[in-house]
Structure 1
Amino acid sequence: MPQSSRIDELVAEWLKYDKNPETRSEIEHLWDDGEWDELDKRLSHRIEFGTAGLRAKMQAGYSSMNDLIGLAAHLSTLPDALKRGVVVGHDHRHNSKRWAGLTTRAFLNRGFKVYSYRGVVHTPLVPFGVKKLGAVGGVMVTASHNPAQDNGWKVYYENAVQIIPPVDKAIADAILENLEPEDDAWDSDTVREHPLCEDKTNNMRYDYHNHVAALFPPEEPADLAITHTSFHGSADLSIARAFAVTGLPPIMTVRQQRDPDPDFPTLPFPNPEEKGALSLAIETANSNGSQYILANDPDSDRFLAAEKIDRNQWHVYTGDEIGALLASYVLEEYKRTNRPLDKMAMVASTVSSKMLGAMAKAEGFHFEDTLTGFKYIGNKALELEEKGYAVELLYEEAIGFGLSPFIRDKDGITAAIAFVRLAARLHRRSTSVFAQLQLLYKKYGFFGTRNSYFKCGDGALKAKVFKGLRENKSDTGYPTQLGSFKVQDVRDLTDGHAYDSMQSDKKPVLPVSAADMITFYGAKESGESFVLTVRTSGTEPKIKYYLEVSSRDQATIEPLLVEAEQALAGEWVKSDELGLEKA
């Protein structure tokens, strides 16, 4: 049991600060019922920035999402911060509008100009607004594709990219130094009348769609039937307008999922990648004769597609497959301009497919990978731009894609437009996207992936799993065999365990962090190779893994993936022994 005196102090502090009767009542009831462990879990640990900002369950406590989360203190230290202002937007989730109002109030109280988006907006509009308006930062209140009980913040810096170290730590420190809210900090109802609060919603929407139109000038139309689903989120209005300004035909919608709904009534998880998530979209597409399905997650920054490849079968594309397809699209676009290929660049997360690297090697363009999360991908794109590269594609396997030099964040609307333009071009050539993917495999090699996770919210259990991966009877301590694959190299990007066998000094090139993340590389004597990354999630109670097998022979891919995945779950993670459920 946690020390009662420490819990007493934390409870007293929370009740002193929190003016929300609902969350105050939660803590009071836990106190009255003697739930010391739960109080310790909620009050002794602070919510931390993960791969996509702050994201957690909505409930009382410093470890969760609630009214007592703050940001303004750090941004006020930037040059001309108050005059340049901040952009604040929100999605449709429970509490999102209120928390956007509280965020706005916190900035207004410090003298910031605030560009406040009114009503539900899609996430890409916030970084677009930061860049367009020259703001010092932006906040989007959203939990993206998390379950209905969650909410969160995506925080953008003055470069219009999500924050990375050391800025995230500076903000966290500023929060700790400004814990006690001001008396009027709870007034979110009158912020719109404040003279420093400016409504730019319609202006930025208009400018955003003009930008999309400039990115994708109209082409010869193709007779394609397409169904789109918004997953009860914000995409419907934005994508309809985007199709119109780029000369694409109207799309059909999954009406049951078209309008924003914070309870996501038709989806157990509002994540397009979850098994069965496209069931309603497939049913709709079958009934209206669509050849393709487009899906955006609830805040519209991610994109998934599916294609009907025969009368009864749909192929749901993985993020890595879409990444390769979009790479072929932007490569064709770039070659049309006759610019030097060695000055074109693409960036992907290190857990994404190695196929993009194979394409870069074959075609002569520059490729780099980064840590997981678009905050790292976007900042790497800015670095490459400073070196003179034209960065044409950003992507991560978790269906996140960026194709705009103006928005260095993932954008599910522009990704959908690029995918449909590719489909239209191929249709005019009497072929399809699926056929194009097979051609890419034949040209650059076959790559197959198994990306999933083990459910694990227990920190001690997570530590035990990673300790097991580092304490083996080998020279390095790491496993030497994965099924029939021999492990040849290991890269550990974890604080206290930093190691990269591929570097002469054994020190990783990529930054290390407190979160566990280990990548294993290996091969078989017959030539097939594998890459496997195991990491803890920064926003969800999961141990994630990303497994890829590559081969010149497509027939070997699937059985080797199955074998390697079984070895991971059994000999490496010991999921049955530890009671870890695999997704």
Structure 2
Amino acid sequence: MDAELQKLVDEWLRLDKNEETRAEVQVLVDSGDMGELDRRMRPRIEFGTAGLRGRMEAGWNRMNDLIIIQASQGLCEYVLANVKDAPERGIVIGHDHRHHSEHWAQLTASAFLARDVKVYLHRGLVHTPLVPFSVKRLNAACGVMITASHNPKNDNGYKVYWENAVQIIAPHDKGISASIKANLEPKTWDVSTTSSSPLCLDRTEEMKQAYFEALASLSTAKSLNASTPIKFVNTSMHGVSHPFVVEAFRRFGFEPFTPVVEQQVPDPEFPTVKFPNPEEHGALDLALATGDRVGANYVLAQDPDADRFSAAERGPDGKWITFTGDQLGALFASAVLDKYKATGKPLDKLAMVASTVSSKMVEAMAAQEGFKFVECLTGFKFIGNTALGLEREGYDVPFGYEEAIGYMFGREIRDKDGVAASMMFAELVASLHRAGKSASSHLQELYARYGYFQTRNSYFLCTSPPTVDAIFARLRNWGGGGAAGRPAYPRALAGLAVTRVRDLTLGFDSGTRDHAPALPLSSGHMLTFRAEGAGVRVVLTTRTSGTEPKIKYYLEGSGRDAAQVEQLLGRVVNELADEWMEAEKNGLGRP
């Protein structure tokens, strides 16, 4: 065996923990059949060892070099077969600062270049929204962003956008998956082509400038923003957003914000936060402390790839009020509605979109004000595509959101954008300040106008899939009442009568004429209950997570009396845990 191959084999055997592949290599080594080892195993060893060296983890359900190459090859072949003029239109590729993100962006590019497909490879760190923006502006065939968004530091991910500049949905998700399986043999690992190929183009700065111009067009008070006395603190959560928010503040006419210095520079280790998600308990502690030190009025936060946004306000008593995703959604929806009214356009041509697990407050606004509200499945791949569908029907869709602090503004990006959300919030609170109000006081005005809404979302931990299935089977056969394939669901919740049940697993909705749901079916368990009585209403959705061993629940109560709603939510949570989930009996963990 030559020395180079010996070194590769030794490293493979040291790194690979898969007994089957180790045994296959070891048999050839022991047999002394160096020709067969070199011919049949060298390519697998080279690619596999590269993946193991540069892994988040090795394995078929992990991120590593081999998986990136296979995914990119499959995506490329599918795009070539399904998108007109794909080689000339090309692909947009971006990456954040996560471990291996730049290298994996280059590997993705090399797979497309090997098939003579044009590649627009963004150079340097970019935020996720720049990829779908660039796909639309450049009329690209697809886009890929290498990012793990707000996940823990050991994660990374591969986000795909279709030619419509929205994240992929069916049938393309299944089609791409099948294409990946049909193109597993690696064709290239030579990332040098990203520097040498004339097909690999750098339009990064051009797209950034176009993005900021489009973002600035959403401003309606630039001339007034410079004079606001409001002080902002901003944290990029060790991510990529800082330079984007700096430029956005300048374009909107605001004075510079105070950064959270400890979290300002991109760092894939996220040293100051356990989970780099602004929603997580404690994630905003440094930002709030900075706000206290400089006397700020508001704290703004983006997640590491800058597609999510959160905010906090210093209350009259000096304590910080951190807004929930739904509260921000209501504030944004109200602001968008006011701007739309000012145009004089008919309200029946205005539409807003939210995920089905988000607050129903925007639904209440729509019912009272006369615009269209549409809910869709969780995730911006559904929100974005729903918005495009409404546009084709003749509606203006200037806003969409999901409760997990994701917000979409305008027509240019049909995806969540934390930088845009930061600027829309900053301009909103500046205008409220001129009227002698704050975001929290304005939220109370909205409650008085549309009803008080309060959410309480959480989850149960369960690592046993059969237990999860049994829990949901029991909910569909409540009290043994199901018969002949017909489900029977609970009829009461915390003393309220259940008025509607929607089961997106079985395809049942008691609130429609034919009992068929308007929303697509869910791949996991997903049940929604509406209940009401004594002047209060409850909406409860419980579903399985596609990525974590969790049964999630999204609970919202509404009514005119905040105290009554608060007490009701506590009773619902207790009944859900004790009676519906049987948490103690089933060994369910709780946060």
Global fold match (TM > 0.5): yes
1:90 lines up with 2:129 in the alignment = no
Distance in 2 (alpha carbons) for counterparts of 1:458 and 1:30 = 27
Unmatched runs of 5 consecutive residues or more in structure 1: 1-17, 34-56
- State, as a whole percentage, how many aligned pairs show the same letter: 50
Matched with 1:478 is: 489
Alignment counterpart, residue 522 of structure 1, candidates 520, 531, 543: 531
Code of the residue aligned with 1:516 in structure 2: it is H
Matched with 1:228 is: 234
Distance in 2 (alpha carbons) for counterparts of 1:373 and 1:251 = 31
Matched with 2:56 is: 58
Secondary structure of the residue aligned to 1:151 is coil
Deviations 1:475-509 (A, max 9, x none): 53222232222322211111xx2211112222111
- How far has the Cα of 1:457 moved from its partner? 4.5
Matched with 1:351 is: 357
Preserved contact between residue 243 and residue 417 of structure 1 (Cα < 8 Å): yes
Matched with 1:219 is: 223
Mark the CA change 1:468 to 1:148 in structure 2 (over 3 Å): closer, same or farther: farther
Distance in 2 (alpha carbons) for counterparts of 1:19 and 1:536 = 42
Preserved contact between residue 300 and residue 312 of structure 2 (Cα < 8 Å): yes
Query: Which deviates the most, 371-380 or 446-455?
Result: 446-455
Distance in 1 (alpha carbons) for counterparts of 2:108 and 2:390 = 33
- How far has the Cα of 1:87 moved from its partner? 0.2
Deviations 1:136-180 (A, max 9, x none): 110001111111111111110000000111110110111111111
Mark the CA change 1:19 to 1:322 in structure 2 (over 3 Å): closer, same or farther: farther
Alignment counterpart, residue 534 of structure 1, candidates 515, 530, 542: 542
Instruction: Report 1 or 2 for greater relative contact order, CA contacts < 8 Å, sequence distance ≥ 6.
Output: 1
Matched with 1:27 is: 17
- How far has the Cα of 1:510 moved from its partner? 0.7
Code of the residue aligned with 2:498 in structure 1: it is V
1:105 lines up with 2:110 in the alignment = yes
Preserved contact between residue 535 and residue 543 of structure 1 (Cα < 8 Å): yes
Distance in 2 (alpha carbons) for counterparts of 1:224 and 1:22 = 58
Preserved contact between residue 530 and residue 540 of structure 2 (Cα < 8 Å): yes
Matched with 1:138 is: 143
Distance in 2 (alpha carbons) for counterparts of 1:389 and 1:116 = 34
Tell me which structure has the larger Cα radius of gyration: 2
Secondary structure of the residue aligned to 1:510 is coil
Matched with 1:549 is: 557
- How far has the Cα of 1:379 moved from its partner? 0.5
1:413 lines up with 2:419 in the alignment = yes
Deviations 1:40-80 (A, max 9, x none): xxxxxxxxxxxxxxxxx932222222221412111112100
Matched with 2:465 is: 459
Distance in 2 (alpha carbons) for counterparts of 1:300 and 1:22 = 37
- How far has the Cα of 1:513 moved from its partner? 2.8
Preserved contact between residue 462 and residue 587 of structure 2 (Cα < 8 Å): no
Code of the residue aligned with 2:204 in structure 1: it is T
1:287 lines up with 2:293 in the alignment = yes
Alignment counterpart, residue 488 of structure 1, candidates 499, 512, 516: 499
Deviations 1:337-368 (A, max 9, x none): 11111111111111110000100111111111
1:377 lines up with 2:367 in the alignment = no
Alignment counterpart, residue 520 of structure 2, candidates 503, 511, 522: 511
Code of the residue aligned with 1:387 in structure 2: it is E
Mark the CA change 1:429 to 1:60 in structure 2 (over 3 Å): closer, same or farther: same
Query: Which deviates the most, 420-429 or 68-77?
Result: 68-77
Counterparts of residues 122-521 of structure 1 (less than 5 Å): 122-182=127-187, 185-217=188-220, 218-221=222-225, 222-473=228-479, 474=481, 476-494=487-505, 497-521=506-530
Distance in 1 (alpha carbons) for counterparts of 2:408 and 2:463 = 31
Matched with 2:84 is: 79
- How far has the Cα of 1:20 moved from its partner? 13
Query: Which deviates the most, 155-164 or 100-109?
Result: 100-109
Unmatched runs of 5 consecutive residues or more in structure 2: 1-7, 24-54
- How far has the Cα of 1:19 moved from its partner? 11
Alignment TM-score, normalising by the size of structure 2: 0.88
Preserved contact between residue 230 and residue 236 of structure 1 (Cα < 8 Å): yes
Distance in 1 (alpha carbons) for counterparts of 2:550 and 2:276 = 17
Preserved contact between residue 113 and residue 193 of structure 2 (Cα < 8 Å): no
- How far has the Cα of 1:458 moved from its partner? 4.1
Code of the residue aligned with 2:521 in structure 1: it is V
Mark the CA change 1:159 to 1:21 in structure 2 (over 3 Å): closer, same or farther: farther
